[in-house]
Amino acid sequence: LRMLYGCRKKFQKQPLRRQYFKDRKDDAKHLLDTCKVLLKLDGVSGFASVVQDKITKQRYLLRTISKTRIAVELHLLESRLEALKELNTPHVVRLMDWGEDYWNVYFSYEARNCSPLPLVVAEACSAGWSLSEPWASMLMRQLLRALAYCHSHNITHGDLTTSSIRLLLMPDPLVRPWALLAETGLGEMIREEEHCTAPATTED
């Protein structure tokens, strides 16, 4: 009886019907069945792979997150992810689709030829490149423009670090940088022990 009460207490705030889980499971199965894995990536939170659509041949970044790490209630998850799909701006990596099954949630992002900002800068500096003020200014303008766009749609990044900033590798990012915000909005939905939950402030 105590176990049943605990189960009811855990799930009673999620007014979902059986059909909801069936539909979303079908979506996840379709997402996985129509793609071919080209490359598995290391060093990415959760599991991530570069996949290719078997019909259109278009490439995507498919990220898999266990439901045990989802920090929002399931009946709120769909509306948030559908809002993220509506973001369409040049400096944000776009969420193309998503799906779920009993264990995981799957995020399908557009595949861009890019690399994390710290990695690009570190490799360039080790080769003798020096960071210039015009370069940094151009990068910051792009990032602020992307953040302003997201905030105008009532979406915050949730975990903005240098590792969540990507640079397109073509054209040369050291000549004219093109910044991309990756995994926008997921920081608030995924449990990460290393996330900072305190608001950012400046010291007096």
Q: What is the pLDDT of residues 40-67, one digit of tens each?
A: 765 445 567 888 888 888 888 888 888 8
Distance CA 69, CA 46 (A): 9
Give per-residue pLDDT as tens, 96-151: 888 888 888 888 899 888 888 999 999 999 999 998 999 999 999 999 999 999 99
If DSSP codes are grouped into helix, strand and coil, which group holds residue 14? coil
pLDDT by residue (tens digit) across 190-201? 776 544 455 544
Pairing of strands 104-110, 47-53: unpaired
DSSP annotation string for 102-148: SSEEEEEEE--SEEEHHHHHHHHHHTT----HHHHHHHHHHHHHHHH
